[in-house]
């Protein structure tokens, strides 16, 4: 039952092959067995899941239908869930129970989804390996000695290990695409503003964007359909109609111009990964797409620009965690300063503190122009690179990550090496563009992801390209064969 794809579950429920309660219980048991090894979930909501599964079964029995009605999924633990602990992977919010739900959570629930639990993640979404979580690292089901990627590592590991058919995630600099790539999954980060950030705990507000991680483009289309759309509670949310993503999946690729940026095939790219990506591009070409060379000349500046802007925004976003109103508070503070200092030193982990310090520095009087303003200028140049590239290409394609999943500890001692994990993904965040990763091969038994970047609001086209690719390949059907 756990091998069934998300897009096929509604049909099976409709045909009464199994009930939502049955598949939900099955997955809960699987999660409970596997979590000791994988640590993909921070919170398992057995009671809530079974209650909503029963409600979905009753609704279906009463004639209700829907492609997600009764479909179990998991939420990354930075989406607030009313009444259910939401930790953001941090000790700071270790016991935090929000009184409201994120728009993404509300919309998935409205579509009939069952929430199995909350997935593990790098603390406050800061990390590319899931090693910064207060709740411990997540293991990659393809090789438990390796990382699942991050920050949405729990969502990716859960879907890869067939603990959930799909999961929500967020992507500030690659946090959906890189773990999807490392775990052999399809993941999509929407256009900035396409999915509401209301109730999504902020890391870097101008870059954060939600999206699904699942096995296929068809799965992702269903999930995106449910969560996309204007939300008056998020001022940066885009007021534009949401197209029918599913109906666009099958369009032929003939004549499609796929831009291949030369900067994405640099010496930092692993040869095996490069070979897999090039083979994937050849497959798209075989389907009638045309490969065109494009240049994104400012790409090399995306990592430094990102590591000024994201920390600057996070330094302010995380100021609210002061031990005063909610969240972690140190024991017996002697005065206000002590309360602040110890609550924050004890409540935050090393990577979070590093970024707060970097961001605070970058915004300081006398440094603002040299760092923050300069980084914003680079950001505009990067957006301009894409604008020009999209004059000759409909979609841009390249690798999602420099290599396959790495071992625990391999990069965690050197932040810069870790930051370079996101070298191909960050630019789409800086430009606010939709981007996805789809499985494109295996190297030494480990998955490789191909990244697709689209123009503003072109999620439908990205899903279309990925779906056509997945009609001709079976990389997305490969399972790590993880035994729970």
Partner 1 sequence: MLSDWETVIGLEVHVQLATRSKIFSGAATRFGAEPNTQACAVDLAMPGTLPVLNREAVRMAVKFGLAIGAEIASVSVFDRKNYFYPDLPKGYQISQLDHPVVGCGSVTVELPDGSSKCIGVTRAHLEEDAGKSLHEDFHGLTGIDLNRAGTPLLEIVSEPEIRSAQEAVAYLRQIHSIIRYLGISDGNMAEGSMRCDVNLSLRRHGQSEFGTRCEIKNVNSFRFVEKAIECERERQADILEGGGKIKQETRLYDAERNETRSMRSKEVAHDYRYFPEPDLLPVHVSEEFIASVRAELPELPAQKVQRFRTQFGLGAYDAAQLAASRELADYFEETAGATGDAKTAANWVLSELLARLNRDGFDVSASPVPAASLGALIARIHDNTISGKIAKTVFEAMWAGEGEPDAIIDARGLRQVADSGAIAQLVDAALAANAGQVEQYRATPADKRQRMFGFFVGQVMKASQGKANPQQVNDLLRERLDGE
Q: Given the rule CB under 8 A, which residues bind partner 1?
A: 78-80, 86, 88, 93, 96, 98-100, 102, 197-202, 204-206, 232-236, 312-313, 315-316, 318-320, 322, 324-326, 336, 340, 360, 363-365, 368, 372
Instruction: Give CA–CA dist 130/153, Å, rounded.
Output: 6
CB of 387 to partner 1, least distance (A): 20
CB of 102 to partner 1, least distance (A): 6
Judged by beta carbon, residue 46 or residue 353, the one nearer partner 1 is 353
What is the spatial order of strands in the sheet that 446-454 belongs to?
Answer: 41-44, 114-119, 72-76, 166-171, 209-214, 186-189, 435-443, 446-454, 395-399, 257-261, 290-294
Q: Which of 52, 175, 206, 437 is catalytic?
A: 175
Judged by beta carbon, residue 432 or residue 439, the one nearer partner 1 is 432
CB of 100 to partner 1, least distance (A): 6
Judged by beta carbon, residue 18 or residue 100, the one nearer partner 1 is 100
Chain centroid offset of residue 446 CA: 19
Judged by beta carbon, residue 12 or residue 339, the one nearer partner 1 is 339
Does 76 qualify as catalytic in the annotation? yes
**Parallel, antiparallel, or unpaired: how do β-strands 290-294 and 114-119 relate?**
unpaired
CB of 325 to partner 1, least distance (A): 6
- 50-75 in b/e form (b: 16+ CB < 10 A) is bebbbbbbebbeeeeebbbbbbbbbb
CB of 212 to partner 1, least distance (A): 19
Q: Phi and psi dihedrals of 261, rounded to 5?
A: -75, 125
Does 364 qualify as catalytic in the annotation? no
Residues in the chain: 484
Judged by beta carbon, residue 202 or residue 281, the one nearer partner 1 is 202
Does 175 qualify as catalytic in the annotation? yes
Is residue 186 classed as helix, strand or coil in its secondary structure? Answer: strand
Q: Which of 19, 20, 76, 343 is catalytic?
A: 76
Q: E strands along 96-246, which residues? A: 114-119, 166-171, 186-189, 209-214
Yes or no: say if 279 and 412 are a contact pair by the CB < 8 Å rule: no
Residue of 342, 454, 330, 349 whose CA lies nearest to 124: 349
Residue of 78, 79, 61, 77 whose CA lies nearest to 69: 61
Q: Which of 52, 128, 151, 299 is catalytic?
A: 151
Judged by beta carbon, residue 295 or residue 319, the one nearer partner 1 is 319
CB of 91 to partner 1, least distance (A): 14
Helix (H) or strand (E) holding 42: strand 41-44
Instruction: Kindly list the catalytic residues.
Output: 76, 151, 175
């Amino acid at each position: 039952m756990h091998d069934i794809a998300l897009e096929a579950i509604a049909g099976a429920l409709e045909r009464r092959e199994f009930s939502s309660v049955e598949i939900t219980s099955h997955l809960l048991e699987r999660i409970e067995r596997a979590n000791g090894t994988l640590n993909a979930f921070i919170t398992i909501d057995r009671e809530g899941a079974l209650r909503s599964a029963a409600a979905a079964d009753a609704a279906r029995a009463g004639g209700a239908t829907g492609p997600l009605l009764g479909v179990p999924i998991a939420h990354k633990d930075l989406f607030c869930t009313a009444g259910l602990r939401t930790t953001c992977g941090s000790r700071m919010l270790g016991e935090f129970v929000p009184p409201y739900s994120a728009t993404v959570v509300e919309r998935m629930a409205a579509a009939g989804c069952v929430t199995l639990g909350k997935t593990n993640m790098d603390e406050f979404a800061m990390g590319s390996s899931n090693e910064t979580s207060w709740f411990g690292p997540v293991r990659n089901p393809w090789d438990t000695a390796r990382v699942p990627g991050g920050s949405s590592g729990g969502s990716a590991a859960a879907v890869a290990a067939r603990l959930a058919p799909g999961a929500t995630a967020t992507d500030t600099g690659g946090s959906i695409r890189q773990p999807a790539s490392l775990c052999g999954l399809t993941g999509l980060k929407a256009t900035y503003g396409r999915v509401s950030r209301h109730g999504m705990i902020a890391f870097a507000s101008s870059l954060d964007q939600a999206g699904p991680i699942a096995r296929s483009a068809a799965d992702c289309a269903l999930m995106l359909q449910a969560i996309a759309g204007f939300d008056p509670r998020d001022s940066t949310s885009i007021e534009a109609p949401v197209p029918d993503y599913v109906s666009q999946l099958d369009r032929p690729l003939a004549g499609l111009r796929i831009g291949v940026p030369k900067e994405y095939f640099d010496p930092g790219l692993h040869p095996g990964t490069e070979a897999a990506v090039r083979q994937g591009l050849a497959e798209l070409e075989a389907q009638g797409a045309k490969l065109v060379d494009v240049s994104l000349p400012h790409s090399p500046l995306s990592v430094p620009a990102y590591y000024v802007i994201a920390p600057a925004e996070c330094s302010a976003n995380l100021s609210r965690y002061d031990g005063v109103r909610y969240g972690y508070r140190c024991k017996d503070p002697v005065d206000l300063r002590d309360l602040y200092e110890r609550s924050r030193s004890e409540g935050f982990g090393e990577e979070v503190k590093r970024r707060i310090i970097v961001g605070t520095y970058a915004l300081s009087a006398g440094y603002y122009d040299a760092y923050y303003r300069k980084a914003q200028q680079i950001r505009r140049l990067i957006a301009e690179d894409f604008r020009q590239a999209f004059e000759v290409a409909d979609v841009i394609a390249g690798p999602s990550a420099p290599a396959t999943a790495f071992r625990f500890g391999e990069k965690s001692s050197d932040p810069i090496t870790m930051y370079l994990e996101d070298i191909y993904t960050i630019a789409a965040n800086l430009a606010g563009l939709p981007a996805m990763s789809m499985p494109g091969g295996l190297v030494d038994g480990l998955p490789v992801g191909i990244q697709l970047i689209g123009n503003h609001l072109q999620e439908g086209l990205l899903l279309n390209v990925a779906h056509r690719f997945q009609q001709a390949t079976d990389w997305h059907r490969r399972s790590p064969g993880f035994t729970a």
